[in-house]
Structure 1
Amino acid sequence: MDLKEFKEVWKKEQNELISRIDINEKKIGELEFEKSKNEFDKYINTSIMGRNFALIYFMISILLASQLFNDELYSIPALIGGFAMLFSFFQHLPLKKPNYSLMTIIELQRTINSFRIHTLKYSKFDTGIVILWLLSIIPVLLKLSFKISILSNFYSLIIYSLIGVIAIIIIIKYLPFDVYKKWDLELKNAEKQLNEVRKFEAE
């Protein structure tokens, strides 16, 4: 084999090697995109489902309040809890499942980042609204189901208030928005991995 033939063979092998490297890099990028997409998809679906349930909880509150409409001591708190849920529904109304097939890595990064900001912004509201809703409908349910008038009896009201305060303290102490923090950490890692792939592709 003369020098010219050797150079051609070497060049051909080099081009094939570069091509294989490009294909592998592309596959790595696609796998990382898919992994991050699946991670994000899990949380956006959960959030959208939670938002839709807030609307159902609102309707439950309206239904329960209507059954005790003439008893303002029970119906007004139930309405307040219900409208708090409606407020939560509208807070999360902008959440939409993206079309991943049209997204680039950068666009997925931006979408994840926007979701993280949204989730952290409203996490405290969500927890407070859930607590308020539960406290507002439990007396109504007890009155309708078991004829127990917690709010109509001073001593029962004191006991219920104490139990409510203890429950709130326990929830805040032992469940301090851990779910949201976990989501934020995992999505932050997904963003970081996507950024590494994007930098790698840019080199």
Structure 2
Amino acid sequence: MWRPKLTALNKNGNKNLIHKIMNVDELKNIWKNDMYSLEKRVQINEEKLKNLEFNKAQSSFDKFLKISITGKNMALVYAALSTVMIYALRESPLYLVLLFVASALMVFSYFQHSTLKTIDYGKLSILDLQKAISKFRIHTAKTAVYDISIVAIWVVFTGLAFVKWIKGWDVFENPEQLLQNGILFGVLLLGLVVGSKYIYADYDKKLKENENDLERLNAYGNN
């Protein structure tokens, strides 16, 4: 009498045990699937963050690079303007010398920045972009003093020649005009130098920030 009952209990117990094991396996599978989905979402978010930081650094660098390339090309325009004025003031030896120096300095500035060229960012890795920014930042820091000095000299020399060309005033023959123009150009040069130093310092700061951001991304990607 008891044997059938015991047999039934054993069967029911085995069924319950099997059911519990199946429930545990199902929970494990659900947990694995959830973890896989979570890892995928984390990876996608990490990629989005990396792309966002990369594009931010690229956009900032590209803006500064384009400004510098435009400035390089404008140096030839300024040199051409000085050359035109040389022809207009060909009978004034002193102004010819000033304009020749101004034009030559602008040509020198153009070739000084001849290494600056547009970049195909689609082919750059994070490390390549970091190197490009670093190279550009160092180049800009090295040439900043020359750029400011060249522009200052060009403004003074070409400005004096322009006054002679348009107004017919020879400031070197009139001490009063020389003093007045000297004060005017002095104020302009002071503003130019201070403003240029601020701009170059801002360039360097932002480019350095871009370098650091890319360095962190590159280090994170290697871990």
Same fold (TM over 0.5): yes
| 2:215 counterpart of 1:181 | no
Number of aligned residue pairs: 202
| 2:67 counterpart of 1:12 | no
- What amino acid does structure 2 have at the position aligned with 1:21? V
Contact kept, 8 Å, 1:73 with 1:151, in 2: the verdict is no
2:118 and 2:172 mapped to 1: Cα distance?
A: 43
1:60 and 1:107 mapped to 2: Cα distance?
A: 38
Q: 1:176 to 1:46 in 2, by over 3 A?
A: closer
- What amino acid does structure 1 have at the position aligned with 2:207? L
Contact kept, 8 Å, 2:137 with 2:204, in 1: the verdict is yes
Deviation at 1:190, TM superposition (A): 1.2
1:46 and 1:167 mapped to 2: Cα distance?
A: 22
Query: For residues 22-61 of structure 1, what are the structure 2 equivalents within 5 Å?
Result: 22-61=43-82
Contact kept, 8 Å, 1:81 with 1:137, in 2: the verdict is yes
1:27 and 1:165 mapped to 2: Cα distance?
A: 51
2:118 and 2:196 mapped to 1: Cα distance?
A: 27
Q: Secondary structure at the match of 2:69?
A: helix
Q: 1:152 to 1:73 in 2, by over 3 A?
A: farther
Contact kept, 8 Å, 2:148 with 2:196, in 1: the verdict is no
Tell me the TM-score normalised to structure 2 length: 0.84
1:170 and 1:100 mapped to 2: Cα distance?
A: 36
Contact kept, 8 Å, 1:52 with 1:89, in 2: the verdict is yes
Q: Between 155-164 and 128-137, report the one with greater CA deviation.
A: 155-164
RMSD: 1.8
1:43 and 1:31 mapped to 2: Cα distance?
A: 19
Query: For residues 1-203 of structure 1, what are the structure 2 equivalents within 5 Å?
Result: 1-161=22-182, 163-165=184-186, 167-169=188-190, 171-172=192-193, 174-175=194-195, 177-203=197-223
Contact kept, 8 Å, 1:54 with 1:89, in 2: the verdict is yes
Runs (5+) with no aligned partner, structure 1 = none
Deviations 1:117-168 (A, max 9, x none): 0100001111100110011111221111111111334554455445545544
1:23 and 1:166 mapped to 2: Cα distance?
A: 55
Percent of aligned pairs with the same amino acid: 30
Runs (5+) with no aligned partner, structure 2 = 1-21
- What amino acid does structure 2 have at the position aligned with 1:96? K
Q: Secondary structure at the match of 1:58?
A: helix
Deviations 1:12-41 (A, max 9, x none): 221111111111101100000011111111
2:89 and 2:116 mapped to 1: Cα distance?
A: 35
1:171 and 1:144 mapped to 2: Cα distance?
A: 24
Q: Secondary structure at the match of 2:37?
A: helix
1:143 and 1:62 mapped to 2: Cα distance?
A: 15
Tell me the TM-score normalised to structure 1 length: 0.92
1:161 and 1:15 mapped to 2: Cα distance?
A: 74
Q: Secondary structure at the match of 2:44?
A: helix
Deviation at 1:3, TM superposition (A): 2.5
- Structure exhibiting the larger radius of gyration computed from Cα positions: 2
